[in-house]
Structure 1
Amino acid sequence: MRDEKLPKGWKNCVVGDLFSFVGGGTPSKSNLNYWNGAVPWASIKDISRVDVIKSTIDSISEEGLANSASNLASKGDLIIGTRMSVGKVVITEIETAINQDLKILRSELPNKFSFYWFSHLRKELEELSSGTTVKGIRLENLRSLSFPLPPFPEQQRIVAKLDAIFGHLDVLREKLDRIPVLLKNFRQQVLTQAVTGKLTKEWRETNYVTLDFSIIEGKEIISVKKNLYNNQTANFLEKLEESLSLDLNGVFFSNDWCTIKPEFISSPEKYSIGIGPFGSNLKVSDYKTEGYPLIFVRNVIANKFDGLDPKFVDEEKFNELLPHTIKPGDLLITKMGTPPGDCKLYPENAKDGIITSDILKVRIWKKYFIPKFYEYVISSKIVRTQIEEITKGVAHQKISLKRFKDIDLPFPTRIEQEEIVKRVDSLFELADRIESQYQSLKAKIDQLPQAVLNKAFRGELVGQEVKEYVREAGEEMLAAEGVEGYNKLN
């Protein structure tokens, strides 16, 4: 910044005229007497995520300090990164030694003013850094930087104004940070209300849907499945009638619903419920760069079925693994995890694929059951709690197909399943809109500190009221978008 562009009373100085630099070093790692002593020892890892040093990860002894190039920063000193986290500046609240990647900055200027000035210059310092593997800035480049210096009273006013603005921004961030947790809790509460019948209680009363309707549909299922399995399982009818239970066993579903086991919501077709192949049946050597996609646990957890390092098998292998094939609309459930039980629908536009060993699949019997409803059911806390219970005490939490078939699922009529899905989708769309607004506002708030600092060191900030600036920066938007959603979730 040239003199003619400076605000009245400001002087154009250079960093080297205003600051002295004190370097650091590392005691020999081969001498154990130099380490784990009483002297805090700061490195890049201690400054990269904070603005104030209150403690350090490592420490050295007085002997280590005396026998190395390290130096002590006093309480209140500025410390700046000159390698790796170039330009990152912090204030230390403790006396600490530093390593060779840091420099102590000392000056007659108020430390907080200097802290803000170097913070606003962070991007420029990064651009001045060089190096192939580890970026660093040369000390002569740092010393030669132009430093527009306002009069001392102006320095004090700038610091006071920045402190006030950043205080307001901290409050905004605290409010924003609560929104993801609120949204997560909201979605889970919606699922709990949905799968226990509370979400559609009044709807059932208005539409005269009672327990009798579920029993009628249940008897139809029994009849069809009995004919399918009559020659294979002698006690199938009794098994299904037992599954279609009104004894809720502590699982608090609606009194107007039956419960049913996962085996009986699966389609009558062959291979409609199962697990992925054992390792010997699907080897890395079977992987191809195109063909039928393999679906891994990571795909289910991320709900992303393309990308994520995709693997495929050819048609011959696909036909060999028919019991493990999946089609669009199948439910995919993770067998392993902490806990297992992540559940996603295989997308309607996806190609038929193969699940890998740590995934369960259920092809839903769509005449009586809606896949989306049972995705919500298995994702709900009530069913996830059942899964946690049956995997307790296992070293690597894992749910077998046999144990999975024994959990209790709610069984409302198909027409009520449709109504529940419609209502849950609507409420989730509301949550998604709030989340999108949150992400947009968070991005703006994250960009504000640099914009505020730049304005301050052009001499444009002091005359503006703090509340006015923060309002321009997005406080009204937070009230309109974030808090509105926040209130709806409480």
Structure 2
Amino acid sequence: MLADKLRKSVLQSAIQGKLTEQLATDDKVEDLLQAIKEEKELLIKEKKIKKQKPLPEITEEEIPFEIPENWRWVRLGEISLLNIGLIFKPTEISNEGTIVLRSSNIKNGKIDLSDIVRINKEIPVSKLAKKNDLLICVRNGSKKLVGKTAIIENDNFAFGAFMSICRSKCYKYLYYYLSSPLFRGNFDSVTTTTINQITQTNLKNRIVPLPPLAEQKRIVEKLDNVLANIDELKANEEKLSILQKNFPDKLKKSILQSAIQGKLTEQLATDDNVEDLLQAIKEEKERLIKEKKIKKQKPLPEITEEEIPFTIPENWKWVRLDDICVYLQRGKSPIYSDIKKYPVVSQKCNQWSGFTLEPAKYLAPEVLEKYADERYLKKHDILINSTGLGTVGRVCLFKTDSKYPIVVADSHVTVVRSTRLISEIYIKYFLSSPHIQDNIEDMCSGSTKQKELALNTIKNLLVALPPLAEQKRIVEKLDKLLADIEELKI
């Protein structure tokens, strides 16, 4: 994201002295270093801290970039006190006692006490944090969490074994230094075989570009302001990213809905009358019944005004799905076999991306005779998942495979075989539209673990039927637009 890149760039500029102006009125940085040294010597004399081992001199090879004349390269251990955290046993955890800060208590660069652990035991002074200490995660299973830092705003918190505190009069500047690419970049090159960590020695030896105290304050003030704006930019970027991610799907829904309402294509006076189409379908079905190729269907209820969900063009007609089908039936519960001859279509075969036989199981050859010819899937069949949670209602067109002349559906899939006098692709698009899919859950019965779309519900679905010529225009337009939307996703 741009905001993340900008944040890194601004932090890097700040610690290189490029974000603020160096002023001749600033004290010398040597005076700050001398004051820190004297403060440490006093604490050693008072036996509040132990004498530290000398830190190695900074070599020319270590210095990554030039800094202003009145800055100095120092080691972190030179300008701060660093302590590793407290080890405690699970049996010492209590509802009362001292809060022990852990990695989970650092969120977005701040201390978060929504998830706390307390221990009821005496805690060494060295394991107690003070106000303005920096809490640093120095060990974690996730590399990106190591090094995350927050400023502690109250006294008397303890801190856990995977944490360290950094105590320094330069704490505000160091807080930003610890977030900078200089610190993070160096850490990212340090790995171990078991866990991501930064040792106390490594932490103490980190080199820091140190400005005078007055310039530190200017840097912090500038960063507080600039990074707040960058955080706002990031929030807006995240919102935009979600909008961009969801836009293609929303656009697809909108286009499908417009198509089935007659708003995507032009109605032409040259189109045949849809009543003629319905009469032709009726006559075809009567002929097929007479030839005993299909069974006589039970009469469907008349469509009432209350059922009609939206207005359609004058030359369209509301029909029930079974009115325009020659076969509409759930598949059978199969007996499976290891003989890969007769695939059985299940819910997994029906994906929004298209039909696949990859996850199919196979029907036992000896039971094939129990399957009437009408149960063999045909080239133009529409398949609807009739059960499942999150998969129920999913629609696709059956795709034939020359390797398998006979394919059947299992009982979790409903086969919709429309008359050849209409476009099965238009029906597939209609069943995929928000009008159907957004209401699938309401159409289903069953529990929160398993949903079922009853056969009778599918048969009685209302379909907005245009003349055949307009069905073809709608399909042609949708094929093109939806392919463009898939490209947009990529």
Task: Give the alignment's TM-score, normalised by structure 1.
Answer: 0.66
* 8 Å CA contact 2:348, 2:359 repeated in 1: no
- Distance of 2:329 and 2:409 partners within structure 1: 10
Letter of the 1:104 counterpart: I
- Distance of 2:229 and 2:223 partners within structure 1: 10
Q: Indicate the residue corresponding to 2:66 in structure 1.
A: 6
* 8 Å CA contact 2:149, 2:175 repeated in 1: no
Per-residue CA deviations over 1:81-132 (Å, capped at 9, x if unaligned) read: 5121232514267766554333334433343653454453446534412134
Distance 1:61 1:404, change over 3 A: same
Q: Indicate the residue corresponding to 2:396 in structure 1.
A: 344
Q: Indicate the residue corresponding to 1:125 in structure 2.
A: 187
SS of corresponding position for 1:6: coil
Distance 1:391 1:194, change over 3 A: same
Offset of residue 296 of structure 1: 5.0
- Distance of 1:398 and 1:418 partners within structure 2: 32
Offset of residue 56 of structure 1: 3.2
Q: Indicate the residue corresponding to 2:14 in structure 1.
A: none
Match of 1:262 among 307, 315, 321: 321
Larger Rg: 2
Q: Indicate the residue corresponding to 1:388 in structure 2.
A: 441
Q: Does 1:227 align with 2:287?
A: yes
- Distance of 2:345 and 2:283 partners within structure 1: 34
Q: Which moved more, 1:313-322 or 1:123-132?
A: 313-322
- Distance of 1:61 and 1:324 partners within structure 2: 67
Q: Indicate the residue corresponding to 1:370 in structure 2.
A: 424
Report percent identity of matched pairs.
17
Number of matched pairs: 411
Q: Does 1:193 align with 2:258?
A: yes
Q: Does 1:109 align with 2:166?
A: no
Q: CA RMSD in A?
A: 4.4
Letter of the 1:413 counterpart: P
Q: Indicate the residue corresponding to 1:83 in structure 2.
A: 140
* 8 Å CA contact 2:101, 2:117 repeated in 1: no
* 8 Å CA contact 1:214, 1:413 repeated in 2: yes
Paired residues for 1:106-185 under 5 Å: 106-111=167-172, 114-115=175-176, 117-118=178-179, 120=181, 121-122=183-184, 124-132=186-194, 134-150=195-211, 153=215, 155-156=219-220, 157=222, 161-185=226-250
Letter of the 1:83 counterpart: N
Distance 1:94 1:5, change over 3 A: closer
Match of 2:451 among 397, 402, 408: 397
Letter of the 1:397 counterpart: K
Distance 1:101 1:263, change over 3 A: farther
Per-residue CA deviations over 1:229-284 (Å, capped at 9, x if unaligned) read: 34598863x726x57x5857233251532233334544x5xxx6444543x634xx
Offset of residue 76 of structure 1: 7.4
Q: Does 1:17 align with 2:83?
A: no
SS of corresponding position for 2:299: helix
Distance 1:313 1:234, change over 3 A: closer
* 8 Å CA contact 2:76, 2:207 repeated in 1: yes
- Distance of 1:391 and 1:409 partners within structure 2: 18
Distance 1:311 1:384, change over 3 A: closer
Q: Does 1:303 align with 2:363?
A: no
Paired residues for 1:439-450 under 5 Å: none
Per-residue CA deviations over 1:427-468 (Å, capped at 9, x if unaligned) read: 4455445544xxxxxxxxxxxxxxxxxxxxxxxxxxxxxxxx
Offset of residue 361 of structure 1: 3.5
Distance 1:160 1:207, change over 3 A: same
Q: Indicate the residue corresponding to 1:450 in structure 2.
A: none
* 8 Å CA contact 2:382, 2:424 repeated in 1: no
Q: Does 1:331 align with 2:393?
A: no
Letter of the 1:128 counterpart: V
- Distance of 1:19 and 1:252 partners within structure 2: 72
Offset of residue 415 of structure 1: 1.8
SS of corresponding position for 1:174: helix
Structure richer in helix, relative to its length: 1
- Distance of 1:12 and 1:163 partners within structure 2: 28
* Consecutive unaligned residues in structure 1, runs of 5 or more: 437-490
Q: Which moved more, 1:219-228 or 1:295-304?
A: 295-304
SS of corresponding position for 2:318: strand
Q: Indicate the residue corresponding to 2:476 in structure 1.
A: 422
Offset of residue 336 of structure 1: 1.9
Distance 1:393 1:370, change over 3 A: closer
Q: Indicate the residue corresponding to 1:215 in structure 2.
A: 275
Distance 1:6 1:52, change over 3 A: same
- Distance of 2:436 and 2:64 partners within structure 1: 70
Distance 1:389 1:74, change over 3 A: same
- Distance of 2:89 and 2:335 partners within structure 1: 53
Offset of residue 341 of structure 1: 1.5
Q: Indicate the residue corresponding to 2:308 in structure 1.
A: 250
Offset of residue 408 of structure 1: 1.6
Q: Does 1:60 align with 2:117?
A: yes
- Distance of 2:177 and 2:142 partners within structure 1: 17
